Amino acid sequence: MSEPTAPSVPPTPPVPLSALLAREDLGLRQIAGPPAPDTVIHWAHTSEMADPYPYLLGGELLLTAGVHVPEAAGAGAYFEDYVSRIVAAGGAALGFGLAPVHDAVPRALVAACDAYGLPLLEVPPRTTFSGVARAVWQLMAQARLAELRRVTEAQQSLAAAASRPDPVPSVLRQLAQRLSAHALLHGPDGTVIASAGRAPVPGTQEALRKLTAVVRPDTGPADTPREAPTSATDALGDTQLAAYALGGSSGFVLGVATRRREPADHTIASVAAVLLSLLTGEHQSGAGAARSSALVRLLLGAAPAEVAGLLGNGGRWLVVHARPENGTPDPVGAAALGAALGSPLIDLDRDVVRVLVPAGREPAAQPGWTLGVGAPAEPDGWPSADAQAARALARARATRAPLVRHGTRPGLTDLVPRADAAEHARALLAPLAAGPALTETLRTWLSLHGSWDRTAVALDVHRNTVRQRITRCAALLDTDLDDPDVRMELWFALRQG
């Protein structure tokens, strides 16, 4: 069994050798080795080394014009050694170019490729190696686009299924259809709650039941929690098996059995697992009902302090702001982030996801995301914690850090009464009161030690805009922003906001 790490996007599919041979513009011809439909290649590599082994990663179509072949090679074991080294390195196929060195592919090379099961292609004189490599990348790009389109369409159909009156069976049916699979939802006790898809081969359900035990959280002999992976894979003959834990410690597990495993299958199944986690998770329990009650009371005018008790955790929470490293967040990605941070309290706001996390759970960096975390706060401090998280996120993006926490170390602010500090800040920053953008730019610029570029990244503006705003701040405040004493005093004042 293996426990794969879930990819954020499907890997680039390999290229069938048969697709490359079908390109009429290349004129390639297979003259040795197993049939092309059984071979896939991941990239093309050109080498004239007598021993290419150290330079191969595996899965290549190795291209050579035979410059390295000695004149007496046909009479000895040269080609057997050469081909055996390619096979040992994991090379997928060999392309031999005709002219200017050789007019024909050496017969000893053909025999060696047949003996070692290495596909051998004859590359005609009119076809350049760079043309072959370009064709490989074109086919890979087409396959990649097809897989991404497949994932996008699957996400949309799964989300639509989740909104139906019977969401759990609908999601399972849609998943089974998209993967041509048999899909099962196992409850915390291991029983099958719902299933969909093609009839499995004998023994599949029992094999899936055993695989779900690998990812289901439970307790060991000493009643100590066992660290369980979030997913696992196995095989039953030609049937590929996969299991996905839902909702962390909920105990629900999704099982999937397919005839073959495509590159995007794991991504699609992971999306279904996230949706099923939401459908079977806390929001169906008493905790979810309490949160719904808290939301209704807030909408009807209750103060946050009055409803905080319904959320549990004594009212102390962390505000987390997050942005994906590439693109903009979507509902499925936001839900997955909330599940990873251990909280269903998620707000998707344009390009930022906000998550309210119990103060007892320390957020960790998440692959593919940049996070800013505010200080733990009671209900009356939630707005301030929200602002802290926003500033921490801006700093994280500017410094290319995966996660930045708001600093809580005691400082000068603890030596000055809060009311006096706030009054001093209002007086000092009064010239900037009419320009919130100026104030925020000054705050970010000071926090990043006066870096124009990092401030521009944090604020999503051009560096010239940052310069103009800081110049305007200096003029309105009538002060020298290069003076470290001035910077310290301004930073102290901005910290009161």
The tens digit of pLDDT for each residue in 462-474 reads 989 999 998 998 8
CB 88 within 8 A of CB 105: no
pLDDT of residue 203: 85
Question: Full-prediction pTM beyond 0.85?
Answer: no
- 479-485 average pLDDT score: 87
pLDDT of residue 10: 41
CB 407 within 8 A of CB 413: no
The tens digit of pLDDT for each residue in 275-328 reads 888 777 644 445 556 666 766 776 677 777 777 666 665 567 889 999 988 777
pLDDT of residue 250: 65
The tens digit of pLDDT for each residue in 366-420 reads 878 899 998 888 877 888 888 889 888 988 887 888 898 887 554 555 555 667 7
Residue 127 has pLDDT above 90, yes or no: yes
**Span of 47-56, 104-113, 213-222, 329-338 with lowest mean pLDDT:** 213-222
Query: Higher confidence at residue 112 or residue 482?
Result: 112
Q: Report the residue count for the chain.
A: 497
pLDDT of residue 17: 94
pLDDT of residue 114: 95
